């Protein structure tokens, strides 16, 4: 299977170029708190909308820190991040995280850095609104830990290829973690998302343009529904 996953990476890297402007996690990767805010904004919305909200916030504050976010009222924060949707709920969660990390971001970062991935994930998940995927994006993108985040695109692609049975977050994450060398996790994560956006779409997937179609159970079944 490692050979198959290696081929998937090669095929996708030939088809797509990673543009950091299309990925909110890459735009915010230089600052832990900015990345935390960015991934909360990206939940259940497109990166395009999340980036608009993030840029509004950054334009207002300059640098997004626990202190600058905590200085905003919930109403001000909600209005700034409105493009991401669910702005009132997100504002409350981001404000809570800001208050919790105010004056202790460096200490918190040092603690996460020292922990193994599983323990670090649980610490991050103590914040309301941070689940497995959000935590894993932070652990991979900012800390370089050996985790493989799974979003809706990656889940759909993995299931269509026929690589997993249950489709649970942990099963899919574990599959790619076993299948790829750790130094390829971030690139593969981004390439799979791009593939899901552009080709292996939720509706009307462009199977005829897919470089992975000869590996794909979904494509084989579409050709011969009796399989």
Q: What is the pTM of this model?
A: 0.93
Provide CATH code, domain 2-17+148-223.
1.10.1670.10
Is the CB of residue 150 less than 8 Å from the CB of residue 179? Answer: no
3-state percent helix, strand, coil for the chain, nearest multiple of 5 = 70, 0, 30
Exposed, middle or buried, 73 (CB in 10 Å: 0-12/13-18/19+)?
Answer: exposed
Measure the CA–CA gap between 164 and 175, rounded to whole angstroms. Answer: 8
- Quote the CATH superfamily of domain 21-141: Hypothetical protein; domain 2 (1.10.340.30)
Chain segment 49-72, per-residue pLDDT in tens: 999 999 999 999 999 999 999 999
pLDDT at position 97 is: 98
pLDDT at position 2 is: 72
What percent of the chain has a predicted confidence (pLDDT) above 90? 93
- What residue ranges do the domains of the chain occupy? 2-17+148-223, 21-141
Chain segment 187-197, per-residue pLDDT in tens: 999 999 999 99
pLDDT at position 225 is: 52
* Long-range contacts from 168-171, C-beta under 8 angstroms, 24+ separation: 169/132, 169/133, 170/132
Q: Which residues of the chain have pLDDT under 50?
A: 227
Measure the CA–CA gap between 216 and 169, rounded to whole angstroms. Answer: 20
């Amino acid at each position: 299977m490692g050979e198959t996953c290696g081929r998937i990476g090669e095929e996708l890297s030939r088809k797509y170029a990673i543009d950091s402007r299309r990925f909110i996690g890459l735009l915010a990767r230089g600052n832990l708190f900015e990345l935390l805010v960015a991934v909360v904004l990206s939940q259940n919305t497109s990166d395009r909308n999340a980036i608009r909200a993030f840029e509004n916030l950054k334009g207002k504050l300059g640098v997004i820190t626990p202190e600058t976010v905590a200085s905003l009222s919930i109403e001000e924060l909600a209005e700034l991040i409105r493009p991401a949707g669910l702005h009132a709920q997100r504002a409350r969660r981001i404000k809570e995280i800001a208050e919790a990390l105010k004056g202790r971001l460096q200490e918190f970062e040092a603690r996460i850095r020292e922990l193994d991935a599983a323990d670090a994930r649980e610490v991050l998940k103590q914040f309301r609104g941070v689940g497995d995927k959000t935590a894993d994006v932070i652990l991979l993108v900012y800390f370089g830990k050996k985790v493989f985040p799974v979003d809706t695109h990656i889940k759909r692609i993995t299931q269509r290829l026929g690589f997993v049975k249950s489709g649970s977050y942990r099963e899919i994450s574990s599959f790619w973690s076993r299948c790829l060398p750790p130094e390829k996790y971030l690139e593969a994560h981004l390439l799979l998302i791009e593939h899901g956006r552009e080709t292996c779409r939720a509706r009307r997937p462009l199977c005829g343009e897919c470089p992975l179609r000869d590996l794909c159970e979904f494509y084989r079944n579409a050709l011969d529904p009796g399989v």
